Chain A
């Protein structure tokens, strides 16, 4: 009968397809990574790794949000699709604590694990064990236009306060000529605008949680910080800053539309690159501002390579990680693309290299990284580690929603007080759901 034939045919087809998919693999490792410049560059050099070791590499390159969604689902369902995952300083200690990552405790002698910057090593460890090797690391700092500052008759202190920043933004603001005093992140997302407002709040003495895990958005410090930010940006920021993230601001700064930009230290190499930037010669750097309370508004972050515990190829994966985060890799990039383009912020030896010390932003990057203290991020004591994030699994979800509330303030759709009240309620609610309170 026809139905049986059809059934048989479809079953046979399905079987064929399944069988075909189960083909054997040699030493090929699959790496999930994020689509930013340094990672794309690394893909270009993969052939050299394969030549040296005979290990083939498959890349799965995804946009940051898609990557997070993909690797998180894979690790929590034990999918085992990747031999190396590119993750950040937020995920590493949490995943390490859950036993989902292979500890990186048998790195080779030549790799010299002690060369990794202490701040990075600390942030990528759990209980003293390193779980991911930093590919590059960053803090945040002020990048400003020296020509505009000079024209305004101002000088940027090496360690400015928020009042200095405000004065500079006011002096450089020239919206008639499409030059805005200051460009900052407002885009919703915990890693975008959420990160920036959190570090700003830190410098104003605010914190996410008190020591009993109660949300602190009802405290005056948060209102001060958010009000200051909104007022600063409404007065001297570009229009539509509520949707500006790192990329949008980078593009604006490169086009000469911003007097000042406080953002990731890795941006320094992009804004001083004459191929992409119209203002490459006139960029100065300063530490991220403080508010006289002893905490600066700079963060600490690293994109790092980790090996999920479920992999069959742990040895090959480790070999790749040693290659990609080694001093030799940095030298390889320096040779081919110049010192300004090497992945920064991971190794102490990089900052001791004479050629790299000539790079204008090198010292300020190192100073910014060293000024960040993830174990003691706020003025008042907190029960968590992390500066622009709180290293608990629930944070990404909560902070994304909180940053969405704030973005509605930036877009003029609700008031500071409404946003803080909503943030307070949703944070406490989520913490309750997770069993903290």
Chain B
């Protein structure tokens, strides 16, 4: 009896969950689908879910207009570089906050977060002038630096919450055994922290990948990432739904694929120590 109810309930839950999941995913699905249609079919009334002529022409047109691989490569370098650099700076900071806390630790953490509240447009001129002064405009290095600084507070905070989950007794024990600080970090802390660091890496890679204000305003030709690529498709003339869809799909595909493969890690990464 009980089992029958459970099954019925499970079916109902399945239907509901799938319906909501598909509803949320629909805009992305529709974009990907439209990118394979001709322009005329893209605005067909009623909209076509099947029975259209599958075409790759839109991708060819977009690729001909802008060299996708160059933008993609810049995105990878900038997002990857800023994330790695950020981790290198944040790990020691988060480590000391978690294991050698002082009265000010929490204040420092909150202060770091508050630096993220500076509205980017408000400092467009200051940052642009600094970039001109140091010849950083349109360099990947400059963007790596800026994106690292933007995301650093989040990185520090995430790492801090992970490190705090590592039981202090283990460290105490290691110290009792006469482990040096270096050994403590290398052999005790690091293995335990790797999952947390991996999740942090992932989340920050996504945040850096999607950052669209500085990446657009501080680049021209040589360091422009995918956010600049998409800026040339915002409002072209006449019929453009299919080409826009193709360009959008190309801009989000790499990160979508990465995200899907690593979603378990990411879920962990998003908890911010909220759990427990």
Contacts and interface: CB of A to CB of B under 8 A. Distances in A.
Given A32-B220, A61-B66, A250-B237, A21 B232 contact: no
Contact of A247 (B85, B139, B235): B235
Given A2-B181, A59-B221, A63-B234, A17 B65 contact: no
Interface stretch (A71-79, A128-136, A366-374): A71-79
Interface stretch (B20-28, B108-116, B121-129, B203-211): B121-129
Contacts of A35: 232-236
A434 interface: no
Interface stretch (A6-14, A94-102, A339-347): A6-14
**Residue in A3, A32, A58 with the greatest tally of chain B CB atoms within 10 Å:** A3
Interface stretch (A36-44, A110-118, A354-362): A36-44
Nearest to B85: A10
Given A17-B81, A58-B222, A61-B66, A2 B92 contact: yes
A61 B232 CA distance: 5
Given A1-B182, A22-B135, A14 B220 contact: no
A313 interface: no
Interface residues of B, number: 46
Nearest to B131: A79
A66 interface: yes
A3 B92 contact: yes
Interface string A49-69: 000000000111111111001
B147 interface: no
A320 B256 CA distance: 40
Contacts of A58: 220-222
B141 A9 contact: no
A62 B220 CA distance: 10
Nearest to A2: B185
Contacts of A400: none
A81 B228 CA distance: 15
B231 A63 contact: yes
A82 interface: yes
Nearest to A245: B235
A18 interface: yes
B224 interface: yes
A30 interface: yes
Contacts of B185: 2
Interface string B224-259: 100010011111111100000000000000000000
B124 A73 contact: yes
Contacts of B222: 21, 58
A193 B217 CA distance: 26
A255 to B, nearest CB: 9
Interface in B73-124: 81, 84-85, 88-89, 91-92, 124
B182 A2 contact: yes
B220 A60 contact: yes
Contacts of B137: 79-81
Given A58-B222, A62-B231, A77-B125, A21 B140 contact: yes
A254 B238 contact: yes
Interface string A190-223: 0000000000000000000000000000000000
A21 B223 CA distance: 9
Nearest to A70: B217
B19 interface: no
A126 B132 CA distance: 28
How many chain A residues sit at the interface, stated as a range, is 35 or more
Interface string A101-123: 00000000000000000000000
Contacts of B132: 77-80
Contacts of B142: 18, 21
Given A1-B181, A6-B92, A30-B220, A61 B65 contact: yes
**Residue in A18, A30, A82 with the greatest tally of chain B CB atoms within 10 Å:** A18
Interface in B113-165: 124-125, 128-129, 131-132, 135-142, 144-145
A247 B128 contact: no
B216 interface: yes
A276 B40 CA distance: 10
B141 A251 contact: no
A276 B231 contact: no
B221 A73 contact: no
Contacts of A10: 85, 88-89
Contacts of A153: none
B238 A270 contact: yes
A60 B124 contact: no
Contacts of B223: 21
A159 to B, nearest CB: 28
Contacts of B145: 14
A435 interface: no
Given A35-B233, A77-B125, A21 B91 contact: no
B139 A18 contact: yes
A43 B67 CA distance: 12
Contacts of A66: 216, 231, 234
A8 to B, nearest CB: 10
A21 B134 CA distance: 12
A16 to B, nearest CB: 8
A246 B237 CA distance: 8
Given A13-B81, A43-B65, A60 B92 contact: no
Interface of A: 1-3, 6, 9-10, 13-14, 17-18, 20-22, 30, 32, 35-37, 40, 43-44, 58-66, 69-70, 73-74, 77-82, 246-247, 250-251, 254, 270, 276
20 contacts: A6-B92, A10-B85, A22-B135, A35-B233, A35-B235, A37-B238, A58-B220, A61-B65, A61-B232, A62-B232, A63-B235, A66-B234, A70-B217, A79-B132, A80-B137, A82-B220, A247-B237, A251-B238, A251-B239, A270-B237
Given A13-B85, A36-B237, A81-B220, 4 more contacts: A6-B92, A35-B232, A63-B233, A254-B238
